[in-house]
Structure 1
Amino acid sequence: MNPIQQQYQWVAQTRNVLFEYCSTMTPTDYVKQVSAFGWGSVRNLHVHVADCYRHWLQGFGLGEKVEDTPVHAYPSVDDVARLFASVDDLVQQFLAKFEHALDQPITGHVPWQRDPLQLSPLWLLTHTITHEFHHKGQLVSLTRHLGYAPPDTDLVLPDQSG
């Protein structure tokens, strides 16, 4: 496994800790709209993060058409975890394509800009990972607001079994 794949594996590991924690929430709290938080609910934040991976890696990076994910199609933590399994597959597909060209610019359009952008695959992956961690902080804060005590999701320890 190369270092970029290892890094993403650690990201997925912290995400799985978060999914395990979210599975202790009531299903109602997982989708509860809280107007003080962007995206409104824990579930909506999760789906938004998945969409970020899809739009930047699949849409911009791989040049495929991507539609926004309807949040109501993912009513539970297990459903969202399955959505992220497809994100994991997408990341592996993206890394396989750009494995030897992580610094080569890709030219593409984003809806909010007139002129095309040139971004490297490494930038795209870094952006999606940092975006996920930004929203992970919001998500943990939102769950505290709902009365839950989240685990530490910041410390990722490498596997010591080998």
Structure 2
Amino acid sequence: MLKLFEYNWQVREDWFNWCETVNEEELLKQRTGGVGSILYTLYHIINVELGWISGMQGSQGQFRHFEDCNSVAKLREYSAQSHAQIAPFLYAWDGSLQDRILKDQNHEGEWEQFRYGEVLQHVLVHEIHHIGQLSIWSRELGKQPVTANLIRRGLFDPIVHPSV
């Protein structure tokens, strides 16, 4: 799962770079089919990742309001700050945490329980889902979206062929 988090972090950084090529008005424009604007979607991705993983760490996380990070530079900084908070937990992950239980209060105020492994998979899929939305919006702007390819990102060790 760690490789998929690294993939998401790389793709997120690619989207920040992409955002630097788009005017701020387009980045903040409310869009159909998602949680809001392009920048708000990136903010939402960071918040969800930080929220769930901070919960598993037993901490509150250092959240920011969107108004405090509603530019590409500020969002990139928020993402880096969030990454610094959660990466040590993810890099220390071992199989013994898979079935550990996280208690979470839903929007109706009811308490629910989730396995840590399920939560991590949710966080991964959540970001990938929203990256798909960004890709659609990118095409609506007449721009090439960030590649979603997992391969050719340098995440895996190269295959070494033994000499015959």
Equivalent pairs, count: 157
Q: Percent identity?
A: 23
What TM-score, normalized to structure 2?
0.79
Q: 1:161 to 1:124 in 2, by over 3 A?
A: closer
Q: Is 1:32–1:42's contact at 8 Å kept on the other side of the alignment?
A: yes
Q: Is 2:62–2:82's contact at 8 Å kept on the other side of the alignment?
A: no
Deviation at 1:100, TM superposition (A): 4.7
Match 1:48 to one of 44, 49, 52: 44
Q: CA RMSD in A?
A: 2.6
* 75-84 vs 105-114, which moves further: 105-114
- Distance in structure 1 (CA, Å) of the matches to 2:105 and 2:59: 13
Q: Is 1:103–1:122's contact at 8 Å kept on the other side of the alignment?
A: yes
Residue pairs, 1:5-154, within 5 angstroms: 5-34=2-31, 36-59=32-55, 61-65=56-60, 69-96=64-91, 98-112=93-107, 115-154=110-149
- Distance in structure 1 (CA, Å) of the matches to 2:39 and 2:91: 29
What TM-score, normalized to structure 1?
0.80
- Distance in structure 1 (CA, Å) of the matches to 2:30 and 2:128: 21
For structure 1, the 5+ residue unaligned runs are: none
Deviation at 1:47, TM superposition (A): 0.6
Equivalent residue for 2:162? none
Deviation at 1:11, TM superposition (A): 1.9
- Distance in structure 1 (CA, Å) of the matches to 2:157 and 2:99: 36
